[in-house]
A = this chain, B = another copy of it.
């Protein structure tokens, strides 16, 4: 039954790739041993676990011992923020996980521009002598805007150097939540210039509730979960061997096919965008046209009720989102759309269409037709 759906919500969740599932499978059954047990079948499991972490590290240009495995992006973000005592700076379009973590600190929330981009100047203004963390998502989960992390990293580095020159040892780090964007943009930590990076398997065709926090060796993390001392004492609990092996396989595939897949998705997305904006010249496409994830299309149909549209489209077997999934079932207007200044009558008519592995030319063409029909029908119904 499910294969009949045209899934346009890859930013909310992705199916586990069959190759990922195959890689995970043995660690549920034959290789179920506790990686801390002393006999050789368990030591083999430990080795496979360490190999998976090595592979994860390699794919982001990091060292394996700079990685802490977690139960997903939210925990990683909490671990990053929990390791900081001072002031933090975050943009107003960040995911709730980042905004909530920021609110446990003295914090400044800075404004994105109308395209959902974060400027270095705005961040610079917000940094105080007490600021210890700047956190900016690699790509926004609603708009798909890809942020200028390298420039932001330059700002953070410069601030650090200025402090050191003044004999001030207050640290300042740049963290990025890279939950969205892996597999579509470069995630090499050295090239991005970040000090900490959160990643998530569930958005890249890996298992849910598997994530990691990468922290450069100069960052001192404080464990949030204490106990048996796993993950170098930074995150205790019997290791998720199957999940970590699956994450490693998923990241491997994402990196291997990144160039091809980004180009493929961009072409499909552009075609979808062209069809929708041609049919509805009044539609508003949000996010940066230039710096945007290849598979992301955020489009608003003024005066349309997007929630009704989600259900109408579902009736036609097209699955789309109105906003980020976390906030979606709370009936509140997206904080991101408010932040970029969309007026309510535009914001409330917004669909987030995110393409991915399940998208192809045929189903995207069909989706475009169906969306056009349903939007027309709804506009007709409300007799604009």
Contacts and interface: CB of A to CB of B under 8 A. Distances in A.
Interface of A: 2-3, 5, 9, 12-16, 18, 21, 28-34, 36-42, 70-75, 77-78, 95-98, 100-101, 103-104, 202, 207-209, 224-230, 236-243, 307, 310-311, 314, 319-322, 325-330
Residue in A3, A31, A319 with the greatest tally of chain B CB atoms within 10 Å = A319
A100 B236 CA distance: 10
22 contacts: A9-B33, A9-B37, A12-B36, A15-B29, A16-B28, A21-B28, A37-B328, A73-B237, A74-B225, A74-B236, A74-B238, A78-B224, A78-B227, A96-B227, A97-B226, A97-B236, A103-B226, A104-B226, A208-B243, A209-B239, A224-B224, A228-B327
Contacts of A3: 30
Query: How many copies of the polypeptide does the oligomer hold?
Result: 2
A100 B226 contact: yes
Nearest to A26: B2
Contacts of A325: 34, 36-37, 42, 238
A211 to B, nearest CB: 8
A71 to B, nearest CB: 3
A231 to B, nearest CB: 11
A312 to B, nearest CB: 11
A207 B77 CA distance: 24
Contact of A240 (B37, B100, B209, B227): B209
Given A39-B310, A238-B325, 4 more contacts: A36-B326, A74-B226, A208-B242, A209-B240
Contacts of A96: 227-229, 236
Contacts of A228: 74, 95-97, 326-327
Contact of A38 (B21, B230, B321): B321
Nearest to A101: B226
Contacts of A77: 227
Residues of A contacting B: mostly: loop
A248 B289 CA distance: 46
Contacts of A37: 9, 12-13, 319, 321, 325, 328-329
Contacts of A103: 226
A97 B103 CA distance: 28
A30 to B, nearest CB: 5
Pairs of residues from A and B, 3 with the lowest C-beta to C-beta distance, nearest first: A97-B227, A71-B71, A228-B326
Nearest to A97: B227
B16 A31 contact: no
A201 to B, nearest CB: 11
B209 A38 contact: no
Contacts of A97: 226-228, 236-237
A191 to B, nearest CB: 27
Nearest to A327: B228
A370 to B, nearest CB: 14
Nearest to A20: B28
Given A71-B209, A209-B71, A2 B28 contact: no
Given A32-B15, A39-B314, A226-B78, A238 B202 contact: yes
Contacts of A307: 38
Given A38-B322, A314-B39, A322-B38, A227 B32 contact: no
